[in-house]
Amino acid sequence: MSNLVRLNKYLAECGVSARRKADELIAAGKVKLNGKIVRELGVKIDPNIDQVEYAGNLLGQEKKIYIMLNKPAGYITAVSDDRDSRLVTDLVKVPFKIFPVGRLDKDTTGLLLLTNDGELANRLMHPRYEHDKTYQINLQREITDAALERLARGVELEDGMTAPAQAKRLGEKKISLTIHEGRKRQVKRMIEVVHNKVVSLKRVEFAGLVLETLKVGEWRFLKEDEVKILTERSLS
Ligand code: URA
């Protein structure tokens, strides 16, 4: 699925000019789309994929934005996809080329950061920094204390032992797990090792930020102090 907007609307959202004037700029050949002058009025673009240039500046790049989304199930953490899947970026309509920080499985819900700050995103995703990620997990079967302890100590996966984690009981079939690694399907695989199965998985914390009251599918800009937390964590 795409996130198409009319080019004149996009220029207006980026603060270039009002929409009508934006049409004049387009007709006058002052706007480039993916490196080529575009004169066609009514052309639509995807701010997450297309590059729009006006007066030598790439639009939507100057300002860094940081967004927290409560990801719904059924959306993939990518900015484009060949199979017409629903994308997390479809849910956040901003005139910026944003991308998700890290991955959540299609059926996972919860805290996902999106930004156009590539440098910060790369640092946050780098395994060296080992940011905590907390998941709330509904399980198919009751879980024993012994299984919780095993998850906390670390379990053997086909790509090696998992690092010590924090595992807490929230109910008979509900736990929270805090890990700092980010291997593919890590939580689901860890749960399989203790002979159980994830029914639903929700991330509630990432790198010191918490999801709190954001409803599923809703997003908000990070507050200044939250951006500061991320910046400090990705530098230390
Ligand atoms: N672990 C998983 O198994 N899936 C996710 O989406 C995130 C962590």
Q: Which residues line ligand 1 (CB under 6 A)?
A: 104-105, 108, 185-188, 201
Check pLDDT > 90 for residue 123: no
Q: State how far the Cα of 163 lies from the Cα of 109, in Å rounded to an integer.
A: 23
Q: pTM for the complete prediction?
A: 0.79
Q: Quick count: other Cβ atoms within 10 Å of Cβ 10?
A: 25
Q: Taken in order 188, 161, 205, 148, is the CA torsion positive or negative?
A: positive
What digits encode the pLDDT tens for the residues 142-162?
999 999 999 999 999 999 999
- Residue 84: active-site member: no
Pocket test for ligand 1, best of 108, 133, 181 (most atoms within 8 A of CB): 108
Q: DSSP class of residue 90?
A: G
Hey, what domains does the chain have and what are their CATH numbers? 5-58 (3.10.290.10), 66-127+209-235 (3.30.70.580), 132-206 (3.30.70.1560)
Residue 235, CB half-sphere, CA atoms under 13 Å: how many? 6
What digits encode the pLDDT tens for the residues 94-113?
878 889 999 999 999 999 99
Q: Which residues contact 159 (CB under 8 A, 6 or more apart)?
A: 183
